[in-house]
């Protein structure tokens, strides 16, 4: 790992974001992944093209980046041959470096990735019968220290750039072979039944159909970069994925939730995990800053939420901690009190070395789910995936770094102290 200075952990003070316009590179070239067409045109003009030519080349390059998925300017056949070396000397089409790739027997895939400045993070692809979901990271490490989450034991190194975030989607499409081949139609030219009303492709046989900002990091503490990356993913001239197929998961950064609705407009998931102040203060310490009532009111105010686009409450099942019938009834009461269009994902806890909790029994999880279902709220139990490849958030990164249990405990204690 490089000597990049660690970001300040916010505790009861929100972190100051570190803006990065372009993904930094040692060779001085600019990585175009993560930049909108307008910014690409500006860079082309700074590099010597006149304004009209810069705008034209930016449009052409943008198409090749996001519709064709090319990683070499030489493959851009509608750009003059003399122009392609000029582009390659000044710019690059980046992807995160793959440090390790694992493929589970259940189809789950996990990648340990590395940034250009030497920091590792993770990405997971989870296939289901009717969808394929890519779990995307937003930070190297995490701002927060949720006690049940393995990533919570890691220091926050830095925010991922927009390029490093959208680069994960690009890399996944590379790995799944989902770019149009030579002679095939572009995504925007597909038949109408394969394109939904928001301009994105539907589940038409592709493996990657959905994205969740639910990997390493708290996405709302990296708001600008997450927003800019998702705008490229949703852009009809970009990756053209509908906002209805994208979900952003937050632990409850209340002030940014309204911005998320206004500026991004994707589906919202909330890592709730407890229904009392005492328990949530312990397992999701940001609750000490933004309490359950404030969080649920922000959910009630979330623009765009409806019965057709329900808010998802993530609820990890921890034995004898948050899994009683009384907890289930209180969860129902809170959802109905705030009149939330909601569903609940019950997640069997995936233990990791040094974890302070155990997973609830199957019987206890079933009872909890039944109580919520009987109240008219969907509460499916998530099927554990990828356990043979350390698919839980943060596990592969820690394995690569070969930290001892004692070191993990020390890091967690440091973070707990910093968070206050």
Active-site choice (26, 122, 178, 326):
122
Q: What distance in Å separates the CA atoms of residue 161 and residue 232, rounded to the nearest whole number?
A: 13
Q: What distance in Å separates the CA atoms of residue 133 and residue 62, rounded to the nearest whole number?
A: 25
Q: What distance in Å separates the CA atoms of residue 33 and residue 30, rounded to the nearest whole number?
A: 9
Q: What distance in Å separates the CA atoms of residue 2 and residue 10, rounded to the nearest whole number?
A: 22
Q: Do the strands 158-159 and 139-140 form a parallel or antiparallel pair, or are they unpaired?
A: antiparallel
Q: What distance in Å separates the CA atoms of residue 165 and residue 152, rounded to the nearest whole number?
A: 20
Task: Give catalytic status of residue 122 as yes or no.
Answer: yes
Active-site choice (146, 260, 299, 393):
393
Maximum pairwise Cα distance, the chain: 71
Give one DSSP letter per residue of 291-315, joined into a string: -HHHHHHHHHT-TT--SSSPEEEEE
Q: At what angle do helices 83-90 and 51-63 cross, to 10 degrees?
A: 80
Query: Tokens 């993913």 map to which residue?
Result: 233
Tokens representing 336?
Answer: 């109905």
Q: 232: which residues sit within 8 A by CB, 6+ positions away? A: 34, 36, 66, 162, 166, 238, 239
- Main-chain phi, psi angles of 120, to 5 degrees: -100, 145
Q: How many whole angstroms from its chain centre is CA 161?
A: 12
The b/e string for 175-186 (b: 16+ C-beta within 10 A; e otherwise) is: bbebeeeeeeee
Q: What distance in Å separates the CA atoms of residue 155 and residue 141, rounded to the nearest whole number?
A: 5
Among 333, 262, 235, 350, CA closest to 292: 333
Residue 143 CA neighbour count, 13 Å, CB half: 26
Give one DSSP letter per residue of 57-81, joined into a string: HHHHHHHIIIII----GGG-TTS-T
Task: Give catalytic status of residue 393 as yes or no.
Answer: yes
* Catalytic annotation, residues: 122, 393
């Amino acid at each position: 790992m490089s000597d990049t200075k660690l970001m300040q952990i916010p505790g009861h003070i929100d972190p100051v974001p570190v803006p990065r316009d372009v993904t930094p590179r040692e060779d001085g070239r600019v990585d175009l992944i993560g930049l909108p067409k307008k910014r690409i045109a500006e860079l082309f003009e700074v590099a010597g093209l006149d304004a009209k030519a810069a705008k034209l080349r930016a449009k052409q390059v943008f198409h090749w980046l996001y519709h064709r998925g090319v990683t070499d300017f030489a493959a851009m056949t509608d750009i003059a041959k003399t122009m392609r070396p000029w582009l390659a000397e000044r710019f690059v089409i980046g992807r995160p470096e793959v440090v390790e790739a694992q493929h589970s027997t259940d189809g789950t895939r996990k990648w340990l990735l590395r940034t250009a400045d030497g920091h590792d993070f993770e990405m997971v692809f989870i296939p289901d019968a009717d969808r394929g979901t890519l779990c995307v990271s937003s930070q190297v490490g995490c701002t927060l220290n949720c006690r049940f989450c393995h990533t919570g034991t890691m220091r926050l190194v830095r925010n991922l750039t927009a390029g490093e975030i959208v680069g994960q989607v690009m890399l996944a499409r590379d790995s799944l072979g989902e770019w149009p081949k030579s002679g095939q139609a572009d995504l925007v030219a597909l038949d109408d039944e394969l394109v939904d009303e928001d301009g994105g492709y539907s589940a038409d046989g592709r493996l990657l159909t959905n994205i969740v900002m639910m990997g390493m990091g708290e996405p709302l503490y990296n708001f600008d970069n997450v927003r800019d990356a998702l705008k490229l993913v949703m852009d009809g001239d970009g990756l053209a994925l509908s906002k209805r197929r994208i979900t952003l998961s937050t632990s409850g950064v209340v002030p940014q939730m309204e911005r998320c609705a206004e500026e991004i407009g994707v589906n919202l998931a909330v890592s709730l995990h407890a229904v009392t102040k005492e328990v949530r203060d312990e397992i999701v310490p940001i609750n000490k800053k933004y309490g359950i009532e404030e969080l649920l009111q922000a959910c009630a105010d979330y623009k765009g939420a409806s019965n057709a686009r329900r808010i998802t409450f993530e609820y990890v099942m921890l034995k004898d901690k948050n899994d009683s019938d009384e907890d289930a009834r209180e969860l129902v009461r809170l959802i109905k009190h705030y009149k939330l269009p909601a569903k609940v994902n019950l997640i069997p806890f995936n233990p990791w070395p040094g974890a302070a909790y155990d997973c609830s029994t199957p019987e206890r999880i079933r009872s909890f789910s039944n109580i919520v279902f009987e109240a008219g709220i969907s509460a499916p139990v998530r099927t554990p995936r990828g356990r043979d490849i350390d698919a839980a958030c943060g596990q592969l990164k820690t394995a690569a770094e070969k930290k001892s249990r004692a070191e993990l405990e020390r890091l967690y204690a440091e973070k707990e102290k910093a968070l206050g």
